[in-house]
Structure 1
Amino acid sequence: MVSNGKVKEILTKVPEITFYFWIIKVLTTGMGEVFSDYLVHQFNPLIAVALAGIGLAASLVLQFSVRRYVVWIYWLVVIMVSIFGTMAADVVNSILSPLGSTVFYVAALTMIFIIWYTKEKTLSIHSIYTHRREFFYWSTVLATFALGTAAGDMAADTMHLGYFSSGVLFTVLLAIPALCSWLFGLNKIVAFWFAYIMTRPVGASFSDWISAPSHHGGLGIDKGQLSLGLTIIIVVLVGYLGITRRDIQEKSKASQTLQPETTPPAL
């Protein structure tokens, strides 16, 4: 049995889901997309992947070592997941094609959800108060980033929608869970994870459109400059949250997580 004080302390390792959360999440997906491409073109691809993998591992060690939510560590992990997840999806894309990669990551994510729910009886991010649940959480986050990248590539390339149209498509899909939750009472856990997956192709598609050359229908902004610009915006927003603490979960939720959720969400 975990004491209430212990639960409250560990619960703060993940942020409250606010407007700022979704804005930063979309920005990190866009930054991760263009920066991973920038790294691959500036360095040997194997070295770039290795560097991204080391960065991800180091950030995860930091995240698991702290006892409470630290805003800059949490978002550092998300950024590194975004960069490495893009590279992982690109590798699988080169082997299976964007469609095959999308199917692969759908299967992988479904398996993670099944194992997570089987072991913990909940997929709620408000229940992350053990290291095992935190492991499931970050495994899911990595899989969603890779899946979103593959799905975005499939829409832009395989379906020939292009980057901008793909971004619009996934923005519409991103709004669906919010509307269904508001109008039809869609399970909030299902709505959250569906929206979380969709943020990846939204950010990636629009960042690809901004950085693509004009003869490919893009704006032609340099990937390095775009990566720097997005990073600055992310740092400013994360700094704002660090000062205002607007993304700290309410203490009243600690007692709620002591009770297992009885209704399994759809996967």
Structure 2
Amino acid sequence: MDRASNAYAKVPEITVAFWAIKIAATTLGETGGDAVSMSMDLGYLVSSFIFGAVFIVAVFAQIKAQRFNAPLYWTTIIATTTVGTTLADFADRSLGIGYAGGSAHLLALLLVSLVVWRRVMGSVSVAAIRSPKAEMFYWVTILFSQTLGTALGDWVADTVGLGYSGAAGIFGGLLLLLTIATYATRVSRTMLFWCAFILTRPLGAVVGDFLDKPVAHGGLAMSRYGASIGLFTFIVVCMLMFKQRPARAPH
């Protein structure tokens, strides 16, 4: 690939390591978001402003970057998942929209984002993200998906009553089916990618809750700070062990 074709390849190639880091990052978003909003007692709204500011700065830096930078990319992903956690909790709990209502509204916003992106840019494929405009659509869509994941995870675990482990089994099972579909069918790889990307967030949300919620509520009662540090360490180790390359241009 020549330098010109690689100029805007600032998102990673989709590999097993990508998905491992993505799930850890979404879980970190849950424990980290709860650590600031609950353990530090700043509340959902103030925490959303804090994480929202971090998200804006990270996206600006990501778009301004000249080439793919793995630490910057994953910092931005973590920023979307932490602000997604506190925004969803603020809407669902503080505003009283509820998990089902919040999930429905966020799903609608996510679908609109994907449709508009497709109409404007011609493709929502990760490999086609090679301009600042495409990156903006990418990060807005990811923010909606991360926020949806929090509400959806809480809805399945709490409202439906499956608990954290049951909800994790549901979302993990759906991801397994998507994996099988990737290798055994001709379904659009772009569609399968976005389905998997969206589902990793509620999986991370319920796993994060399982780690830090009280034993009486079905959790392990781990420290939110300790769980967040452990997840962050795992992400750093994966980044060091598995070198990530930018997504290759479609042929």
TM over 0.5: same fold? yes
1:56-205 correspondence to structure 2 within 5 Å: 56-94=55-93, 95-205=96-206
Partner of 1:50: 49
| Cα RMSD, aligned residues only | 1.6
Q: Deviations over 1:186-235 (max 9, x none)?
A: 11001000000110111111121121111112111111111111111112
Cα distance between partner residues in 1 of 2:233 and 2:250: 37
User: Are 1:6 and 2:4 an aligned pair?
Assistant: yes
- Partners of 1:85 and 1:146 within 8 A in 2: yes
- Partners of 1:177 and 1:186 within 8 A in 2: no
Q: Deviations over 1:238-262 (max 9, x none)?
A: 2334xxx3x2136xx4362xxxxxx
Q: Helix, strand or coil: the match of 2:180? A: helix
Q: Helix, strand or coil: the match of 1:10? A: coil
Larger CA deviation: 39-48 vs 17-26:
39-48
Q: What is the TM-score normalised by the length of structure 1?
A: 0.88
**AA partner of residue 106 (structure 2):** Y
Q: What is the TM-score normalised by the length of structure 2?
A: 0.94
1:252-263 correspondence to structure 2 within 5 Å: 253-254=248-249, 256=251
Larger CA deviation: 91-100 vs 120-129:
91-100
In structure 2, do the counterparts of structure 1 residues 18 and 255 end up closer, same or farther at CA, with 3 Å as the change threshold? closer
Q: Helix, strand or coil: the match of 2:12? A: coil
* Gapped regions of structure 2 (runs ≥ 5): none
Q: How far off its partner does 1:171 sit?
A: 0.3
Q: How far off its partner does 1:143 sit?
A: 0.9
Q: Helix, strand or coil: the match of 2:24? A: helix
**AA partner of residue 28 (structure 1):** A
**AA partner of residue 71 (structure 1):** A
- Partners of 1:27 and 1:230 within 8 A in 2: yes
Q: How far off its partner does 1:4 sit?
A: 5.7
In structure 2, do the counterparts of structure 1 residues 212 and 186 end up closer, same or farther at CA, with 3 Å as the change threshold? same
- Partners of 2:30 and 2:81 within 8 A in 1: yes
Cα distance between partner residues in 1 of 2:60 and 2:123: 24
Q: Deviations over 1:115-134 (max 9, x none)?
A: 00111111100001111101
Cα distance between partner residues in 1 of 2:20 and 2:250: 29
- Partners of 1:175 and 1:195 within 8 A in 2: no
Cα distance between partner residues in 1 of 2:46 and 2:155: 26
Partner of 2:228: 227
Cα distance between partner residues in 1 of 2:246 and 2:72: 16
**AA partner of residue 6 (structure 1):** A
Partner of 1:209: 210
User: Are 1:25 and 2:19 an aligned pair?
Assistant: no
Q: How far off its partner does 1:181 sit?
A: 2.5
Larger CA deviation: 122-131 vs 178-187:
178-187
Q: Helix, strand or coil: the match of 2:79? A: helix
**AA partner of residue 81 (structure 1):** T
Larger CA deviation: 84-93 vs 43-52:
43-52
* Gapped regions of structure 1 (runs ≥ 5): 257-267
Instruction: Give the percent of matched residue pairs that are identical in Structure 1 and Structure 2.
Output: 30
